[in-house]
Amino acid sequence: MKIFRILLFSFFLFGCKNHSEKISFNASQNKTDSIDVKARFNEYFEVINHPFPISPDLAHQNAIHDYSEYKDILQGVASEAGKDKFYIRYAEFLKTKNGVSQEEKREKLISIYSSLNRINSMIRDGGTYFGHLDKRIPGYAEYSIYISIDNDYFEKEYNIENQKKLFIESINQHIKDDESVNLYYLAKEKEERKKDFDNQVEKLDSLITDYYYLRMAQEFNYSHYK
């Protein structure tokens, strides 16, 4: 019986040790795989963005239909969750190209696009579309930055206040019209919604400081919600 207990203890001891080593190996392997995946994505983006970067939407379409040699990293990008991850990778890649000097513009664009997404999400009472789009906003922002670099088209001399006023008024009118027929909220809830709407619109008004930001806000709003 004593020998049996010793053998049983030895089996348990070495079995646990081997199991622990196996877990450690897998964790290390996963880390290596992650590094390889990132490198592969960067390689892929270098190919599709040659000689000039393309929009994240077009890049995603290409990922679904073309470039079979990158199937090891592009499997699953057709799903909504896979598309989210693709846009995040795209943003990381193009952010490196655009550089840290664009950080102020980057933060501003992300805030503008996020406010527009919040407003339209509330108008339509939410939905998965807006949640997924929120994750993809950095990708759209990076492409907006790219097309602005060394591009004097966006450097308008005239005052944009009248154009901006019309844009903000159109958003406020959209909110007002939809809220007037929205019967799903009590009076107190509507008050809270109005505060949220007003806060987002005020944020937009303060962030849109020149023609470039106005144009980017208009394009993002009309291309994703109309």
Average pLDDT for runs of 10 along the chain of length 226: 41 39 33 66 86 93 82 88 96 95 98 99 96 98 96 91 98 97 93 98 98 98 93
Structural domains of the chain, count: 1
Please report the pLDDT score of residue 1 as a whole number: 44
Please report the pLDDT score of residue 88 as a whole number: 96
Under 8 Å between Cβ of 26 and 67: no
Q: Which residue has the tokens 């049996």?
A: 4
Within a domain: residue 128? Answer: yes
Please report the pLDDT score of residue 66 as a whole number: 72
Please report the pLDDT score of residue 71 as a whole number: 83
Please report the pLDDT score of residue 67 as a whole number: 67
Within a domain: residue 36? Answer: yes
Please report the pLDDT score of residue 154 as a whole number: 92
Q: Give burial (CB, 10 Å; 0-12/13-18/19+) of 43.
A: exposed
Q: Which residue has the tokens 């789009």?
A: 133
Within a domain: residue 220? Answer: yes
CB count within 10 Å of CB 131 equals 13
Cα–Cα dist 139/19, whole Å: 41
Please report the pLDDT score of residue 160 as a whole number: 96
**CA dihedral over 104, 200, 211, 132, signed as positive or negative:** positive
Cα–Cα dist 96/106, whole Å: 12
Within a domain: residue 112? Answer: yes
3-state secondary structure 99-158: CHHHHHHHHHHHHHHHHHHHHHHHHCCCCHHHHHHHHHHHHHHHHHHHHHCCCHHHCCCC
Please report the pLDDT score of residue 220 as a whole number: 98
**Residue 156 domain boundaries:** 18-225
Please report the pLDDT score of residue 16 as a whole number: 42
Please report the pLDDT score of residue 34 as a whole number: 58
Please report the pLDDT score of residue 23 as a whole number: 27
**CA dihedral over 205, 211, 217, 222, signed as positive or negative:** positive
